Each structure stands twice: as C-alpha cells, then as structure tokens.
Structure 1
Amino acid sequence: MGRPSHKDNNLNFSKDPSAAIEDMMNQYGTLVLRTAYFYLGDRHLAEDISQEVFILAYRNWTKFRGDSIVKTWLIKITINRCRDHLRLKRSAEIPSDTLFINEPITRNLEEEVIKRMNRTEILKHVLTLPLHYQEVLYLFYYLDFNTLEIAKATGDPEGTIRGRLHRARKLLGGLLEKEGFNK
C-alpha cells in the first residue's frame, strides 16, 4: 500500500517527489527565500540557497519520516545550508526587512513607508545581537515558529530555545529603550 501522504497545514503532499516539491515550492518558497536572506543578507545568494534547499528536499523526500511538519523540515534545511555558507564567507550586505521580499504594498504609501522604516530599524538592532539570539527572534517573530518548532529547526533543546528567546527579548528591549524607540 505504500507510505501515506505527508500532511502540513491541511495541505496533502504527494508521495511522488516531483509533485510534492512543486507543492512545497508554491507553499513555502517565499518563506525559504526570506529565511535564507535573513541569514545571508544577499538576495542573489539567498535565491541560490533556496534552490539548493528544494533540490535537497526533492532528493530526500522519500526519506522524510514526518517527525516534524514539512515547513519546519524545509526551514531546518535552509538554516543548515546558510550556516554552511556562513562558515565559508560572511556577506557584507545587511538585509532590510525580510518580510517585504515579494510583498506588494497594500495600504496607503505613507503608512507602509513608516511601517517598513520601523521594522527595518528594529531589524538593525536585532542584527547587532549575537547570531543565536538573532536566529530565535527571527524564527519566533518573523516566521511565527513556536519554541518546539525552533528547537527542531535548529537542533537545539527546547529549553535552550526558551532561554535564548527570553535573553534576546531583554537585550533587544534594552537596545530599543536606549534608542528611544516607541512601540
């Protein structure tokens, strides 16, 4: 009878790698790209890493055991590919707000510009924190991962993630308060 289809956020993924990858790219392509861009700070490099992620997912789809949801699995692959790349070379470009890659402006222009400026200012402060704090803040606030999903994506214990998230919030709050940033 074969292995059942994987389920993720009410979306069934085929057992066939080709069909499953197409669905994953449609559902999570932008998310993978944003995550790679957050880590690397270079749009073109992020696009290359995103392609690598889906190639790896395609090659390993039949080995996917379903220990996590597909979204977490793809983000884990993305994080690992970015970490591998960062070990080799750190990009000089500082990312702006990753949430706005490929996102159309939906409000009036003035409100949108102010929102983006505020988010970019917060992101600049996040990027001054040590990488393990940047990582948990990004995954928690930008990708809406819970602490268990972050633990699975990073390979760290959930208690460690909760501690990092707590310390990262305190550090970021202190930085923002020092700068007089209004919430």
Structure 2
Amino acid sequence: MIPVEPLAKRSEQIIKEWVAAYHDLVFRTAFYYVKNRAVAEDLTQEVFLKAFQKLDSFREDASPKTWLYRIAINTAKDHLKSWNHRHLLFTSVFFEKSSSPSSEEQVMQQFQNDELIRKVMGLSTKYREVIVLYYFEEMRTPEIAALLGMKESTVRVRLSRGLEKLRQTLKGGEQDWTSLTDS
C-alpha cells in the first residue's frame, strides 16, 4: 500500500505548479463569465480547489490547461445559474498597457480596449464565450469545440453571429474595430 502522505504532497505540488502557471488564465476565464473581479477571484480559488479534489480523475494524456479551462467554465456557468443578480458593473482589470508614444495615445487605447470589452461582455454567453476564447485567448476553433463540447461548425457559426452582433452595437462609432474581423 502506498503511503497517503507522499501522494498528498505530490498532489499539492502539482496544484501549486498549476496555480503558478494557469492562475491568470483561470481568473480571466471566470471574469469573462461573471464580469466581477471579486467573484472571479473566488471562482478561481474554487476551480483550483476542485482540481485538487478531483486530481485523481485527471488523465495525464490530457492538457492541464484544457482541463482547468473546462473546470473554470463549468464553475462560472454554475455560479451564473445559482445567482439572480446578473447585472454587474464591468471593470477592466487585466489588460495592462506596455509603453506608448504619448499619454494621450495610452488613454485613447485604454478607452478603446475598455469599450470593446464592454461590448463583448454585453453579448449573450453563447457568443461571448467563443469570441473571448478565439480572440482574447487565441484558441483555434477545434480547441474551442473540444473545450465547450460542441461541433466546430457550431463554434464558427457563433463566432460569425457574435461578430455580427458586435458590428451592430459598434455601428457609427469612431473606433477602428476591424481587427476583430481579421482571420
């Protein structure tokens, strides 16, 4: 019989490594769903707690990143189902700027990013999740399909319809949103 303590220490070490490597990813994923920093932080802790508790069910041939994404998405969706208050204020907290030529340009870039993110966050969950995963997390459609448990064609349709909804809400704006449609 394998001693329990070394197994627990190994599990603890794995989770520590995953927290170091994937904390920001899990936080952003939760934030994209709940739109509230404090709640996203709580959900991030919950995701890693669930991962620790279910570590024995993790298949080593799978990617920890994908497994944690799935747990984060399910945890966030469960949270949204369990809470009645869904109209939370959006605060951009995870997009940091590198150096810009001028302060004015920095302010304008931040405004454009905040405005775009507000519009994306205003989409329904089914469109928001694929747009966030595709454009912000830079995942490809096969990865998104596997992660969300849907067909690739469904992902592509939701991307297309989500972008069209974004175009409609951004129509008449001065900002250059064309980078979203590249690819």
1:22 and 2:16 equivalent? yes
* Offset at residue 94 of structure 1 (A): 2.8
Say which of 153, 165, 168 aligns to 2:147.
Answer: 153
Task: Determine the C-alpha separation between the residues in 2 that align with 1:17 and 1:112.
Answer: 43
Q: TM-score if structure 2 supplies the norm length?
A: 0.80
1:64 and 2:93 equivalent? no
* Offset at residue 118 of structure 1 (A): 0.5
* Offset at residue 98 of structure 1 (A): 5.3
Give the conservation status (yes or no) of the 8 Å contact 2:35–2:121.
Answer: no
Q: TM-score if structure 1 supplies the norm length?
A: 0.80
Question: How many aligned residue pairs are there?
Answer: 166
* Offset at residue 117 of structure 1 (A): 0.9
Deviations 1:75-115 (A, max 9, x none): 11111111111111134323233542xx4x43144333222
- What amino acid is aligned across from residue 26 of structure 1 in structure 2? A
* Offset at residue 32 of structure 1 (A): 0.8
| Paired residue secondary structure (1:94) | coil
Give the conservation status (yes or no) of the 8 Å contact 1:68–1:152.
Answer: no
Q: Which residue of 2 aligns with 1:139?
A: 133
* Offset at residue 67 of structure 1 (A): 5.8
Task: Determine the C-alpha separation between the residues in 1 that align with 2:110 and 2:170.
Answer: 16
Moved more, 167-176 or 134-143: 167-176
Say which of 99, 105, 109 aligns to 1:107.
Answer: 99
Max Rg structure: 2
Q: Which residue of 1 aligns with 2:89?
A: 94
Consecutive unaligned residues of structure 1, counting only runs of 5 or more, are 1-14
Identity of aligned residues (%): 34
Q: 1:166-181 alignment to 2 at 5 Å?
A: 166-181=160-175
Deviations 1:138-179 (A, max 9, x none): 111111111122122222222211111121122212322333
The RMSD of aligned alpha carbons is 2.1
Task: Determine the C-alpha separation between the residues in 2 that align with 1:66 and 1:159.
Answer: 28
Task: Determine the C-alpha separation between the residues in 2 that align with 1:181 and 1:114.
Answer: 10
Consecutive unaligned residues of structure 2, counting only runs of 5 or more, are 1-8, 178-183
Q: Decide whether aligned partners of structure 1 residues 63 and 178 sit closer, same or farther in structure 2, where only a CA change above 3 A counts.
A: same
- What amino acid is aligned across from residue 173 of structure 2 in structure 1? E
